[in-house]
Amino acid sequence: MSQPRQVPRSLHLMSFIGATCMTLIGVSQAQSLPPPSRTVFKCEVAGKVVYSDSPCLGAKQVDVEPTRGANKATGKELTGADVRRERQREGMAEAVRPLTGMDAKQFNVAANRTKLDAGTKAQCSVLDVQIPAAEADERKVVGTDRQNVQAQLLKLRQQFRDLRC
């Protein structure tokens, strides 16, 4: 009769690590992260300036544009896959611009909203008009009226974010 073969401990350990990694991958894919945002708000909280992608009362919107790769001393440009995809989308937007009349930013917004249902798209279109109007009102008014306008603007910005416009 032959003796049962023993499995080396290292094989058990490798099997355990593999199973753990697969579980972590499954969990990370199951969680839904919010879409990346280039909208940054400058807020004052308890006398300190805070930057966030979430709007706050009296927030100032900060225009941010990330870098698109670093140039080495050799003259070669280093870009990641995300920058290459972004440039490809911009090229596509320019190619179809005569048909759509949209620039690259408008095209990107429209592409991102294709996943939304018709009702949400309509709400986003309304917010696209209401938010700039409320921002213009905020710049014009002073005193207690300004606080009311800021509260309305905060509500609009939160709705825009919640809808994933």
Alpha-carbon separation of residue 40 from 19, 100, 114 (angstroms): 39, 28, 23
Q: How many CB atoms lie within 10 A of CB 107?
A: 19
82 located within any domain: yes
CA distance 53 to 32: 17
Strands 39-45 and 48-52: antiparallel
Tell me the three state secondary structure of residue 45.
strand
pTM over 0.85: no
pLDDT over 90 (residue 137): yes
Greater pLDDT, 144 or 165:
165
Per-residue pLDDT band for 153 (boundaries 50, 70, 90) equals very high
Domain assignment of residue 110, given as a range? 75-115
- Does 101 reside within a domain? yes
Any domain includes 6: no
Residue 86, domain member (yes or no): yes
pLDDT top residue among 134 and 5 = 134
More confident residue, 78 or 58: 58
Q: Give 42's strand partners.
A: 51, 60
Percent helix, percent strand, percent coil in the chain, to nearest 5:
60, 10, 30
- How far is residue 106's CA from residue 113's CA, in Å, rounded to a whole number? 11
pLDDT for 106-125, tens place per residue?
888 898 899 999 999 999 99
Across 17-143, where does the E strand assignment appear?
39-45, 48-52, 60-63, 70-71, 77-78
Query: In percent, how much of the chain has pLDDT > 70?
Result: 68
- Give me the number of domains the chain comprises: 1
Kindly state whether residue 49 falls inside one of the protein's structural domains: no
Mean pLDDT of the chain: 77
Domain assignment present for 98: yes
Contact 152, 57 (CB under 8 A): no
Q: Is residue 156 part of a domain?
A: no
Q: Is the pLDDT of residue 135 over 90?
A: yes
Would 142 be classed as within a structural domain?
no
Looking at the predicted structure, is the pLDDT value of residue 132 above 90? yes
CA separation for the pair 123, 162 (Å, rounded): 11
